[in-house]
Chain A
């Protein structure tokens, strides 16, 4: 058995002269939940489409379960970013149709559709036409349609957008259940909370390139931990400042500063030995959101610097 469900290497794609995706590689371990994160327009959707063989990359290649994506279509479930269903179809038929496209028998598709819809609280619209449903409901129908054939790889492009919090939670439950069933789940999002709760591994794409690949903890580890320290009220600020790392900010009663993993214990030792007291102390690891923003800002800063340098060069020329 292949250890990786998806192995996309060096994917690049031009739209006209714009390089929408630049040398992006994705390696998704089998049986994991893998997130592709990035700001709007970063190239997530194009990367997923190339990975699935919906569009051809200009450079690079993609393997799914060790084979060309086109040869294993029946083992894949895909929810595209642009949702689409035939409005005239009934929900149950729409799901069975999507299953039939992947080789599932129509009657079995209908049966599973009813089961899934009942589990997700959608039993009252089983025989309702799609055009009569709300956007969120239709999205859930499409989501069920993409997993009704029990695929080995589920690819969801921005699956949470457009869903209310209740349905978002249901979707998270569904994703975990599919992973527990043995499926690999690859999804894109720009909402960090979902990725943080779900992902075993993730990639961050910004400005067409992959900027990070690893676990959620590794992403969060890109930034130092944040410390909030509140000494006794009668402490001399100068003494406190001398105790803490350079750059610690004094706001109100508290001091804020970052600390590396290795610096936590020495810091605690210094504080307890200083005699300044501890009214409050919190050491928190940054959220994925912070890591994401940090990475994207770094990339943007690099781009702006490059653009500035180019402008200077042009001016000099």
Chain B
């Protein structure tokens, strides 16, 4: 091992242990639990709200008693064509009589949301609807139309379709793009959660004056890289921990839950569909390269934040940097997400080449494009930028913070040299 690498690992080891061997790290590690708990609470609330809203809604048909069966049969046939979320509200019947309230009055009845009310003959029904843009009124019109058609056609045996589901081998472009977007989102989220910490990583050394010892003992490049590596180790530990938790959770769910229930769960169906969509490069490569791109994304953004944070003189300045840092990350995410939705476009090409969005955009590309060689090229390109950012950060740190570099003001050196040679 070269002295540079050895120094880098010494720094990385120190930083890794300094972070991990503290009670605060436990809080950091378990922080997603709070996020999950909040998400669950919010989701349950929203779900209850949606369910209660769904339960309270209705569409109403004011019809003769003889027409109820025909209308119900039409509703039974048409309703299954809608997915659960898009289905019209439940249909209620009111028998037409002089005592029946006016449709407008029914639409305004309290205690429930009435989306549409049908009245009058089926060939020219009157439909009062709550929202002209909604589909409830059109559905009632469709039902009326269906009753008329049924009557005109007489007794026709209903079709008995045989449904076949294609679960595997589905590699639709839309699903692959979804996978690409998923990769972008996961890498972005992890980088957002984990890379931002690097901004304050040199604050400790500056605060307790260790920086001069480090600067005297090892190249600053290895200090910067070592710190990045230490933080990357923490990030990887974090990911491994939660992956393990997810796997344990998944295993427990498989053992404890009834497989039929599991399979019929709507979300499980979606997950199955996504898993059925093979990324263009294959699952193994896609997951592997996704992890490597996360590392590169972490190193690239971490190097920028480390370099910028190293310039900060006070904790307050570091705190002030958190907003631009988040905006920068969101910007890279937006660019990459746009690229993921338009594979092969010039925007995608730009996002893949622009160094700070490159890991995200290339991860998305791995989902839709089976060219594997281009990823190795991209990794090399990104690694060069990591080195470049570190190099520039160190130069800035030496000249700006240590006050010792030859700095960027080369013209001042020339002026001084000229002054020094002038006869006095």
What is the 8 Å Cβ interface bit string for chain B, positions 15-31, against chain A (1 contact, 0 not)? 00010001000000000
Docked pose: A52 CA to B413 CA in angstroms: 21
Is A305 in contact with chain B by the CB < 8 A criterion?
no
Enumerate the 7 nearest inter-chain pairs by beta-carbon distance, A residue then B residue, closest first.
A55-B404, A84-B209, A101-B217, A84-B210, A80-B212, A82-B209, A78-B216
Docked pose: A54 CA to B211 CA in angstroms: 10
Say how far A46's CB is from chain B's closest CB, in angstroms.
Answer: 9
Docked pose: A100 CA to B11 CA in angstroms: 9
Q: A84-B210, A97-B10, A101-B7 are in contact. Are A14 and B218 (CB under 8 A)?
A: no
CB-CB < 8 A to A85: which residues of B? Answer: 208, 210
Q: Which B-chain residue is minimally distant from A104 (CB atoms)?
A: B10
Query: Are B416 and A14 interface neighbours, CB within 8 A?
Result: yes
Docked pose: A84 CA to B206 CA in angstroms: 9
Is A270 in contact with chain B by the CB < 8 A criterion?
no
Is B90 in contact with chain A by the CB < 8 A criterion?
no
Docked pose: A278 CA to B323 CA in angstroms: 85
Query: Are A58 and B219 interface neighbours, CB within 8 A?
Result: no
Q: Within residues 56 to 71 of chain A, which ones have a CB less than 8 A from any CB in chain B?
A: 56, 58-59, 70
Docked pose: A14 CA to B402 CA in angstroms: 13
Q: Within residues 2 to 34 of chain A, which ones have a CB less than 8 A from any CB in chain B?
A: 13-15
Query: Are B402 and A55 interface neighbours, CB within 8 A?
Result: yes
Query: Are B216 and A58 interface neighbours, CB within 8 A?
Result: no
Q: A83-B209, A84-B208, A103-B6 are in contact. Are A54 and B216 (CB under 8 A)?
A: yes
Q: A80-B216, A83-B209 are in contact. Are A74 and B3 (CB under 8 A)?
A: yes
CB-CB < 8 A to B404: which residues of A? Answer: 13, 49-50, 54-56
CB-CB < 8 A to A54: which residues of B? Answer: 212, 215-216, 402, 404
Query: Are B204 and A86 interface neighbours, CB within 8 A?
Result: yes
Of the residues A55, A74, A101, contact of B214 by C-beta under 8 Å:
A101
Say how far B281's CB is from chain A's closest CB, in angstroms.
Answer: 41
What is the 8 Å Cβ interface bit string for chain B, positions 195-210, against chain A (1 contact, 0 not)? 0000000001100111
Docked pose: A34 CA to B205 CA in angstroms: 29
Interface centre among B22, B216, B406, B420 (most CB of A within 10 A): B216
CB-CB < 8 A to A58: which residues of B? Answer: 406, 413, 416
Q: Within residues 73 to 108 of chain B, which ones have a CB less than 8 A from any CB in chain A?
A: none
A52-B216, A55-B402, A58-B406 given; 14 more Cβ-contact pairs under 8 Å: A13-B404, A54-B402, A55-B398, A55-B405, A56-B406, A58-B413, A59-B417, A78-B213, A80-B209, A83-B209, A86-B204, A86-B210, A97-B10, A97-B14
CB-CB < 8 A to A80: which residues of B? Answer: 209, 212-213, 216
Chain A residues proximal to chain B, CB less than 8 Å: 13-15, 49-50, 52, 54-56, 58-59, 70, 73-74, 76, 78, 80, 82-89, 97-98, 100-103, 142, 145
Is B403 in contact with chain A by the CB < 8 A criterion?
yes
Docked pose: A46 CA to B211 CA in angstroms: 16
Docked pose: A40 CA to B126 CA in angstroms: 98
What is the 8 Å Cβ interface bit string for chain B, positions 273-293, against chain A (1 contact, 0 not)? 000000000000000000000
CB-CB < 8 A to A76: which residues of B? Answer: 216
Query: Are A78 and B217 interface neighbours, CB within 8 A?
Result: yes
Query: Are B219 and A98 interface neighbours, CB within 8 A?
Result: no
Docked pose: A97 CA to B217 CA in angstroms: 11
Q: A55-B402, A73-B216, A73-B218 are in contact. Are A103 and B3 (CB under 8 A)?
A: yes
Q: A74-B3, A78-B217, A82-B212 are in contact. Are A55 and B420 (CB under 8 A)?
A: no
Q: Which A-chain residue is minimally distant from B10 (CB atoms)?
A: A100
Interface centre among A13, A50, A102 (most CB of B within 10 A): A102
Q: A52-B216, A55-B405, A101-B218 are in contact. Are A86 and B209 (CB under 8 A)?
A: no
Query: Are A70 and B219 interface neighbours, CB within 8 A?
Result: yes
Q: Which B-chain residue is minimally distant from A98 (CB atoms)?
A: B213
Q: Which A-chain residue is minimally distant from B404 (CB atoms)?
A: A55
Docked pose: A89 CA to B208 CA in angstroms: 12
Docked pose: A102 CA to B6 CA in angstroms: 10
CB-CB < 8 A to A70: which residues of B? Answer: 219
Docked pose: A145 CA to B204 CA in angstroms: 19
Interface centre among B10, B211, B420 (most CB of A within 10 A): B10
CB-CB < 8 A to A55: which residues of B? Answer: 398, 402-405
CB-CB < 8 A to A56: which residues of B? Answer: 398, 404-406
Say how far B15's CB is from chain A's closest CB, in angstroms.
Answer: 10
CB-CB < 8 A to A49: which residues of B? Answer: 404
Query: Are B208 and A87 interface neighbours, CB within 8 A?
Result: yes
Docked pose: A56 CA to B212 CA in angstroms: 14
CB-CB < 8 A to B22: which residues of A? Answer: 88
CB-CB < 8 A to A82: which residues of B? Answer: 209, 212
23 pairs of residues in contact across A and B, judged by CB atoms under 8 Å: A15-B403, A50-B404, A54-B212, A54-B215, A54-B402, A55-B398, A56-B398, A56-B406, A58-B406, A59-B420, A73-B218, A80-B216, A84-B208, A84-B209, A85-B210, A86-B210, A88-B22, A97-B10, A101-B7, A101-B214, A101-B218, A103-B3, A103-B6
Query: Are A73 and B210 interface neighbours, CB within 8 A?
Result: no
Say how far B218's CB is from chain A's closest CB, in angstroms.
Answer: 6
Q: Which B-chain residue is minimally distant from A130 (CB atoms)?
A: B208
Docked pose: A80 CA to B215 CA in angstroms: 11
CB-CB < 8 A to A88: which residues of B? Answer: 18, 22
Docked pose: A84 CA to B204 CA in angstroms: 10
CB-CB < 8 A to A89: which residues of B? Answer: 18
CB-CB < 8 A to B420: which residues of A? Answer: 59
Docked pose: A102 CA to B420 CA in angstroms: 38
Say how far A208's CB is from chain B's closest CB, in angstroms.
Answer: 14
CB-CB < 8 A to B217: which residues of A? Answer: 73, 78, 98, 101-102
Docked pose: A78 CA to B214 CA in angstroms: 10
Q: Within residues 213 to 234 of chain B, which ones have a CB less than 8 A from any CB in chain A?
A: 213-219
Docked pose: A40 CA to B413 CA in angstroms: 27
What is the 8 Å Cβ interface bit string for chain B, positions 244-277, against chain A (1 contact, 0 not)? 0000000000000000000000000000000000
Q: Which B-chain residue is minimally distant from A52 (CB atoms)?
A: B216
Q: Which A-chain residue is minimally distant from B15 (CB atoms)?
A: A86
Docked pose: A145 CA to B14 CA in angstroms: 15
Say how far A131's CB is from chain B's closest CB, in angstroms.
Answer: 10
Q: Which B-chain residue is minimally distant from A79 (CB atoms)?
A: B213
Say how far B269's CB is from chain A's closest CB, in angstroms.
Answer: 50
Q: Within residues 384 to 424 of chain B, which ones have a CB less than 8 A from any CB in chain A?
A: 398, 402-406, 412-413, 416-417, 420
